[in-house]
Structure 1
Amino acid sequence: MKIVAFEHDDAVQVGTVDEDGQVSARGEIAAFWRDPHAALAGTGTSVGPLAALRQRPAAPPTARVICVGLNYRRHAEETNLPIPTVPVIFARWANTLAVDGDGAPAIGDKFDWEAELGAVVGRRLFRATADQAKAAVLGYFAFNDLSARDYQMQTAQWILGKNSDASGPMSAIVTADAVGDPAAGLRISTRVNGAVRQDSSTADMIFTVPELLAHVSQAMTLYPGDVIVTGTPEGVGMATSEFLHPGDEVEVEIERIGRVRTTIVAAPAASA
């Protein structure tokens, strides 16, 4: 099942998309995430084709967007950093999330791509085991962790370079039952202007999705709608000094989940 959010009747709604691209509304976004399983169990209300709707990120505005760095072995190797023994965690603001087709302003001279697998929580988690965390995953999405390396690398804290406007484009969410176990290996790739820049497998992840969620839940409660994005494979622009510029188009695609496409645009003028 594919889950999207969209503008309808002066509100942001969450709905499901069938094989013909028709959308059934399942409730206003805050109400949906209070009990997503109940919302998905209903029949929904038809609102027409997805192509005719203005999409919005399916994660709620209250979501904690938890990010993981250096979580692919070959990516850690290409950056000449040690393989982590504990997950490297940082955070995004939910208002940096975007959707397929949105533009992202290029910030600085080293604006970079990062293909990532995202997962969304469907049940409350606190001090969970990996098995409990796995059962709590509602679904998965493709994510591009667009990174302003000029700002990311100024200090050991990465948050500034990871929170520029519209720098977190995410695909529709595909429910976990339709994806299977990402640890078994899903192809994950990035194309820039049609040329492949990343082409790897989620089997190269150091920490699996359940392990990451269980780890985070030891210190903080996770709620339905919270998301975790799980790191990028090798092939980032920083490794070869190739970066994104206005006019570039970048696509992240993950097997069995889908893709998210972003056009890079010029940064807006400074405030007066």
Structure 2
Amino acid sequence: MYFATYLKEGKERLGVLYDEGSKIIDVASILGEDFSVSMLDFIENCDEVMLEKINGYLQENKDAEGMEKIGDVKLCAPIPQPRRSVICLGLNYKDHVEELKASMGDQAQTPKAPVYFGKMATDIIGPMDEINSHPNATSEIDYEVELAIIIGKTGMNIPIEEAENYIFGYTILNDLSARDLQKKHAQWIKGKSLDTFTAMGPYIIHKSTLPLPLNLKIACKVNDEIRQNSNTSNLIFNIPYIISDLSKGMTLKAGDIIATGTPGGVGMGFNPPKYLKTGDVITCTIEKIGELVNKLK
């Protein structure tokens, strides 16, 4: 199942995709109008009974009232306003580590433990939304396609073998970065957290549709040029390890977003660097999840 946040009559709705992704229907039409909730509320309260009811409805109602063509609605980020900062991993693909050695020197080494950092993202942009170039703040904007894990239930000290039980699903995240600010401040939070520098979508695919282990093509192109092209199987630290390691002594909460790192091919890794320019269209793709397209304003 694929879940989305979309606008209808100016109001955010929680939808589920139907007919191979060509249509969408408000989840409240299935579970009852009293269940008109946000994606975060749904993730926090979702159980097997709800999922079975939604799936059964989609199987039995081929032309249900209230279904709309996906092209007729405005898709938002699946979680437009997360309750906590996005949790990110750096240096989690070997080819990305290698490409950064020229610019980062000894700091670009294959990590022995995950490199975590936070990305402040109180307002996440969605598909086809514009990225603010912030010309007064940065001149070195970079793209990073990433697989994002959406946590499904709260937990701490989660064993590796139980990690999948704490996942709701997965989506695509573009971890946009101001490289000059990263270098200037010698840490990442400022350069990662400018307004509109987190793009996510188009959907969250439920884990039941995409069981572990994941082996998905992941790619990013700028305009017509493919820049990143890898597979999620190349993660240095895999998904169960990340969830278990993060949760040691630290509570993960339902709705938390974990960006698992980006593969090689970022603009900073080219010689000379290929940073984004006004008007560039960035297309992030992950197999079986979809395509996230944004334009630099």
TM-score, length-scaled by structure 1:
0.90
CA contact (8 A) 1:12 1:28 kept: no
Residue in 2 that maps onto 1:99:
126
2:283 alignment partner, one of 244, 251, 264: 251
1:175 pairs with 2:195? no
Code of the aligned partner of 1:180: P
CA contact (8 A) 2:82 2:123 kept: no
**CA spacing shift, 1:42–1:9, aligned 2, 3 Å:** farther
Counterparts of 1:202-213 in structure 2, within 5 Å, are: 202-213=232-243
Residue in 2 that maps onto 1:161:
191
CA contact (8 A) 2:94 2:110 kept: yes
Deviation at 1:96, TM superposition (A): 4.1
Deviation at 1:136, TM superposition (A): 1.5
Residue in 2 that maps onto 1:128:
158
CA contact (8 A) 1:188 1:253 kept: yes
Question: Deviation string for 1:91-140 (max 9, x for gaps)?
Answer: 12232421110100124211001111111011112110112222221111
Alpha-carbon distance between aligned partners in 1 of 2:183 and 2:124, rounded to the nearest angstrom: 21
Runs of 4+ in 1 over 6 A off after TM superposition: none
1:229 pairs with 2:229? no
Question: Deviation string for 1:188-219 (max 9, x for gaps)?
Answer: 11110011001111121111112111111113
**Quick check: which has more Rg, 1 or 2?**
2
1:48 pairs with 2:58? no
Residue in 2 that maps onto 1:14:
14
Q: Which runs of 5+ in 2 are unaligned?
A: 29-35, 58-64, 102-107
Residue in 2 that maps onto 1:268:
none
2:97 partner SS: helix
Alpha-carbon distance between aligned partners in 1 of 2:50 and 2:198, rounded to the nearest angstrom: 26
Q: Which runs of 5+ in 1 are unaligned?
A: 266-272
Residue in 1 that maps onto 2:27:
25
CA contact (8 A) 2:123 2:195 kept: yes
Code of the aligned partner of 2:289: I
- Alignment root-mean-square deviation, CA: 2.0
Question: Deviation string for 1:42-87 (max 9, x for gaps)?
Answer: 4488352332323222225314411110000111111121111111
Residue in 1 that maps onto 2:244:
214
Code of the aligned partner of 1:198: Q
1:262 partner SS: strand
1:90 partner SS: strand
